[in-house]
Structures are given as structure tokens and as C-alpha cells.
Structure 1
Amino acid sequence: MTDPNLSAISGRHRQIPAILLRRARELRQRQTPAEQSLWECLRASRLYGYKFRRQHNIDRFIADFYCHEAGLVVEVDGTIHDRQQEKDAARDAWMESVGLQVLRVTNQQVQEDLEGVLVVIAERLRTSSPGPFSSQEKGR
């Protein structure tokens, strides 16, 4: 995704308040077991060559996982999200308004069906951008 407005809020040269930087660092150090499992599959461009960032600042929010190239935010929700559905919906609506797509999965889904979660993420990557899928990988 090459939208210059999106790059201003989520790209390499964006301005991030110090408090959000500290919070993202804390979240990276205290990942849930589900986040750790998913990160092992997404890190180092392991999923079809797409680069993901974890606990990535996007404007005033921190995304669990973010792929800038595809404009995809992946959120891994624990039980706290049952109590903040309105807040999450407003956050998702804002992200979608700036051109991002948001995929929410639960801790339980990641823990019980990691392969299925990866399939859904891969489908979103394929439909959101031309991406680096090689002809060899497209058949998988």
C-alpha cells in the first residue's frame, strides 16, 4: 500500500508520542501466549514474504500486528475485549476510514487453530495487495 496519508500515520517516518512508544515496548515485552505463537509465524516475513510488525503504533493506537504493504491490522483479542466492544468497533472504524483493514481473532482461535488463523490472514493478504506472492507460492 503506497497511500502517502497512510504512511504519515503508520509508516517509518511518522511522529509517535513518547508515551505511546513506551507502551508499545511494554506490550512487546508482555505478549500473551497466543500473540507469541502468532508472532513466531509472522515474524521475519515468514508468511508469504509479507513483513509484519508487532505492537505497531498507528496514529493514537497500537496494533497487535501490522503489515504496511497490505494495509492489514491483525488484533488478537483476549477476554477483556468482551467488555470493550464499542471501543474496539470505534477503533476499527477509524482504521478502516484511513484505508486499513482489520482482522480480529481471539486468543482461543490462535491457540486451538493457529493454522486456520494463518489461512485467514493469508487470504486477507492476497486480496488486499498485489503482494510478493510468487507464482510458486500462489498454488499453496
Structure 2
Amino acid sequence: MKLDIVPKNHGMLPQARALRRNMTPQEAKLWYQFLRNYPVKIYKQRIIESFIVDFYCSKAQLVIEVDGAQHFSEQGQTYDRERSAILAQYHLQVLRFSNAEVDFHFDSVCEKIHQTIQSRL
């Protein structure tokens, strides 16, 4: 069953707005150099359930995450697995990229996002 609307915790709006205004350098690079003008609408710092995802394409049911160092600790990886499993319940695919991938392999990151979106439309 495909869901067009995912629930969101509206109490998290102030935090989501703050994150939109204070993106990491890698999030800002991906947003301003690729995602902002992508032909399919992509949202930044979107609330899904009680999570704030970095980027969300509702039409392709795709979450895009840019992960800093904290995501590579054991605790961070466990949290990310649990979060991805919850998002998968809404038929959302999660793409994860490290800060280093955005910094040093930007074209490959953009191509992977593009291919994934096109395959899910």
C-alpha cells in the first residue's frame, strides 16, 4: 500500500525551521547546487513522524540524509537503522551520504539521487 501522506509531529516545527536556517556546509552544498532546482519538488528538513529528515521527495517517497561523524559511531548507526526501519513502514527509501561523499564525490552523489528519484516515479 502506497501512502501519499506521512504523519508528522507538528510540535517539532520550531526545531525543523531552525535546522533549515542552519544547514551544515554539506547540506547547503547539496541543496543550493542540486536539490533546490531539481525538477521534482524536494523539501529540506522535513518532519516525518517524530523525525526531521535532511531532504524529502514525497513524489518519489525518498529521504536523503547527509551524515556527519556522529552517524558512524555504534550508537549513531543503531539509531539510523531503527529510524530507517520506521521510515520504511511508510514505503520510504532512505539514501545516506557521508559529508566526505558530498565534499569529494559530489557529482556521484547527485547522479545517485537522480537515478533513484527517476526509478521511483
For 2:102 and 2:78, locate their aligned partners in 1 and report how far apart those are by CA, in whole Å. Answer: 23
Question: Could you say if the C-alpha distance between residues 98 and 71 of structure 1 is closer, same or farther in structure 2, counting changes exceeding 3 Å?
Answer: same
Aligned equivalent of 1:7, options 5, 8, 22: 5
> 2: CA distance between counterparts of 1:16 and 1:6?
17
Q: For residue 20 of structure 2, what is the aligned residue in structure 1?
A: 28
- Secondary structure at the aligned position of 1:55 is classed as strand
Distance 1:106 1:8, change over 3 A: closer
> How far did residue 86 of structure 1 move?
0.3
For residues 21-46 of structure 1, give each alpha carbon's deviation from its aligned partner in whole angstroms, at most 9, with x where no partner exists: 11101111211110000001101xx2
Identity across the alignment (%): 36
Q: Return the match for 2:102 from 103, 107, 110.
A: 110
TM-score, normalised by the number of residues in structure 1 = 0.79
Report Cα offsets for 1:35-73 as digits up to 9, x if no partner.
Answer: 000001101xx22x1110000001111110000000000
Alpha carbons of 1:22 and 1:128: their partners in 2 closer, same or farther (altered >3 Å)? same
Structure 1 segments of 4+ aligned residues over 4 angstroms from their partners: none
CA contact (8 A) 1:73 1:103 kept: yes
Partner of 1:42: 35
Runs of 5+ consecutive residues of structure 2 not aligned to the other structure: none
SS in 2 for 1:99: coil
Q: How many residues align?
A: 118
C-alpha distance 31-8 of structure 1, shift in aligned 2 (>3 A): closer
Q: 2:5 is paired with a residue of what secondary structure?
A: helix
